[in-house]
Amino acid sequence: MIYINNKYLDTAGTPASLTTPHNLTKLARLMIKFNTNSTIVDADIPNYKSDEILTRLKAYSIGKFQLDAADQAKCYYCESYGAHVASFQVEHFRPKKSVNAQDTNGVAVRGYPWLSIDWHNLLLSCPACNSTGAKGTRFPIAGVRAVTPHCNLTLEQHMLINPEIEDPATYITFNDLGQMRGIGNGNACKGNVSIGVYTLNRDALVVNRLKIWKDLSSEICEAVYASEKGWFGFLKLSTLYTLVIKKIIKTQNNEQQYALWGRYINENIEQLVGSLIIKKKYKSKFLRLYKRYAQLNN
């Protein structure tokens, strides 16, 4: 999960498809049902998943405002590309119809239907992160629940990280095995709740994240092995190191899958390379080159 505030910076504003007369009429009818405690069904919800909305969210997911044909969008939560996770879903950060009883002390809470077509409540999720058993209709809070449109949402103190309004890096870090964990003192709890609810340590994600570092570290070790065997000199080693260093630096870019993990790799490169079983002279040479390229990249 990375910070994605493009929606707030996008001068295009709210997508027109959200505020069509038909949608606004439907929202008014929905709120009559809500206010009279009538049962709300899926058919009552205005349209929040047009191509326009999906395309805009996909662009934001990789730090852009407009999506190009070759772009691969990412899940806002787990940062998996679409190819890995089937089709994306437009997801309500605050659930539109009901809140999971796990987060309400068992009291029935009818969700936030007034936010069902609120542009700032719509995020992009893969089916795994948004499934029942993951985010689904979960919305844990530490403060006072907003139960009508007149309630102050800021009093809720939501315990799930919203990557559009707060930097997940404040709350989440990793260990060297690619597993996420909450960070800091006050922030650790929000980080851990988010990791748990979004299921960000599910096996497939940890395996995918770790594979990124494993592939890169294999390249480092293979270059060192060949150099140690005398197959080529230090100059060629520098060339091979440079190639892998460029790949390492790239892992943290917004459009990359698991960019937050890529940032961890880069911030902890000394420790990660230190754990590889290679001689000190090879590590020192690598880290010197890394620092040079990292500075060039800044």
Where do contacts with Zn ion occur on this chain (CB under 5 A)? 75, 77-78, 126, 129
Complex with Zn ion: residue 122 or 129, whichever CB lies closer = 129
Residue 48 or 77 with smaller CB distance to Zn ion: 77
> At closest approach, how far in Å is the CB of 178 from Zn ion?
15
Nearer to Zn ion, 82 or 219 (CB): 82
Query: Rounded distance, CA 163 to CA 225, Å?
Result: 42
Least distance to Zn ion, CB of residue 295, Å = 33
Query: In terms of CB distance, is 23 or 256 closer to Zn ion?
Result: 256
User: Locate tokens 């089937």: which residue?
Assistant: 86
Least separation in angstroms between CB 88 and Zn ion: 9
Residue 185 CA neighbour count, 13 Å, CB half: 0
Q: From the CB of residue 106, how many other CB atoms can be counted at a distance below 10 Å? A: 7
Which residues are paired to 109 by β-bridges?
99
Handedness of CA 59, 64, 68, 71 (dihedral sign): negative
Q: Hey, is 267 helix, strand or coil? A: helix
76 or 112: CB nearest Zn ion: 76
Judged by CB, which is closer to Zn ion: 156, or 166? 166
Rg (CA), the chain: 23
Those residues whose C-beta lies under 8 Å from the C-beta of residue 118, and which sit 6 or more positions away, are none
The Cα–Cα gap between 64 and 108 comes to: 39
Supply the minimum distance, in Å, between the C-beta of residue 123 and Zn ion: 10
Whose Cβ is closer to Zn ion: residue 48's or residue 258's?
Answer: 258
In contact, 207 and 261? CB cutoff 8 Å: no
We find the least distance from the C-beta atom of residue 5 to Zn ion, in angstroms, to be 19
Q: What angle do CA 24, 39, 34 make, to 5 degrees?
A: 45
Please, what is the minimum distance in Å from the beta carbon of residue 138 to Zn ion?
Answer: 14
* Smallest separation, CB 125 to Zn ion (Å): 6
Shortest Cβ 23–Zn ion spacing (Å): 27
Of 129 and 216, nearer to Zn ion (C-beta) is 129
Q: Which two tokens stand for residue 103?
A: 């987060």
C-alpha distance across the termini of the chain, in Å: 22
By the 10 Å C-beta count (0-12 exposed, 13-18 middle, 19+ buried), 276 is classed as middle
What are 190's two structure tokens? 């929000």
